[in-house]
Amino acid sequence: MTCVPDATLLDTLARLLGPKGFTRDPADLAPWLTDWRGRVHGAAAALLSPSSTAEVAEVLRLADKHRVAIVPQGGNTSMVAGATPPADGAALILSTRRMHAIRSLSAEDNVAVAEAGVVLSDLHDAAASIGRRFPLSLASKGTATIGGLISTNAGGTQVLRFGTMRALVLGIEAVLPSGEIFDGLSALRKDNRGYDLRQLLAGAEGTLGVITAASLRLVPAIGLRAVAWVGLRESQAAITLLRRLEAATGEAVESFEIVPDEGLALVLRHIPGTRAPLADAHRWNLLIEAVAPAGAADPADSLGTVLGDAIADGLIEDAAIAANEAQAESFWRLRESMSEAERIDGLAAKHDVSVPVSAMPAFLDEGRAAVEARFPGTRVLAFGHLGDGNVHFNVRAPIGVDDRAWLERDGKAVSAFVHDMAGARGGSLSAEHGIGQTKLADFARTAGPARLAALRAIKEALDPRGIMNPGKLVPGPRAVAQGGRSQ
In the region spanning residues 93 to 132, those forming contacts with ligand FAD, defined by CB under 6 A, are 96, 116
- Is residue 83 a contact point for ligand FAD (CB under 6 A)? yes
Which residues within the stretch 187-206 sit at the binding site for ligand FAD (CB under 6 A)? Answer: 205-206
Q: Smallest gap, in angstroms, from Cβ of residue 116 to ligand FAD?
A: 4
Nearer to ligand FAD, 57 or 139 (CB): 139
What CA–CA distances, in Å, run from 98 to 18, 69, 150?
A: 12, 20, 18
**Contact call for residue 387 and ligand FAD (CB under 6 A):** no
* H/E segment holding residue 114: strand 111-115
Q: Which residue sits closest to ligand FAD, CB atoms considered?
A: 148
- Part of the chain binding ligand FAD (CB under 6 A), chosen from 43-51, 72-80, 251-259, 314-322: 72-80
Considering beta carbons, is residue 164 or 235 the nearer one to ligand FAD?
164
Tell whether the torsion through CA atoms of 51, 54, 60 and 61 is positive or negative: negative
Question: Quick one: 42 or 231, whose CB is closer to ligand FAD?
Answer: 42
In angstroms, the first-to-last Cα distance of the chain is 8
Residues 137-196 binding ligand FAD (CB under 6 A) are: 138-140, 144-145, 147-149, 151-152, 154-156
**Rounded CA gap, 229 and 112, in Å?**
33
By C-beta, is 244 or 343 nearer to ligand FAD? 343
Of the residues 187, 210, 213, 227, which one makes contact with ligand FAD according to CB under 6 A:
210
CA–CA separation, 39 vs 33, rounded Å? 11
CB atoms within 10 A of CB 31: 9
For 468, what's the count of Cα atoms within 13 Å in the CB-facing half-sphere?
28
- Going by C-beta distance under 8 Å and a sequence separation of 6 or more, which residues neighbour residue 326? none
- Please tell me the total number of residues recorded for the chain in this structure: 487
45 or 307: whose CB is closer to ligand FAD?
45
Of 146 and 316, nearer to ligand FAD (C-beta) is: 146
Task: Point out which residues pair with 47 in neighbouring strands.
Answer: 23, 93
Give the residue from 363, 372, 379 showing the smallest Cα distance to 421.
Answer: 363
Residues of this chain, 278-337, that bind ligand FAD according to CB under 6 A? none
Residue pair 116/145 in contact (Cβ under 8 Å)? The answer is yes
Residues near ligand FAD, by CB under 6 A: 36, 71-79, 82-83, 96, 116, 138-140, 144-145, 147-149, 151-152, 154-156, 205-206, 210-211, 339, 432-433, 469, 472
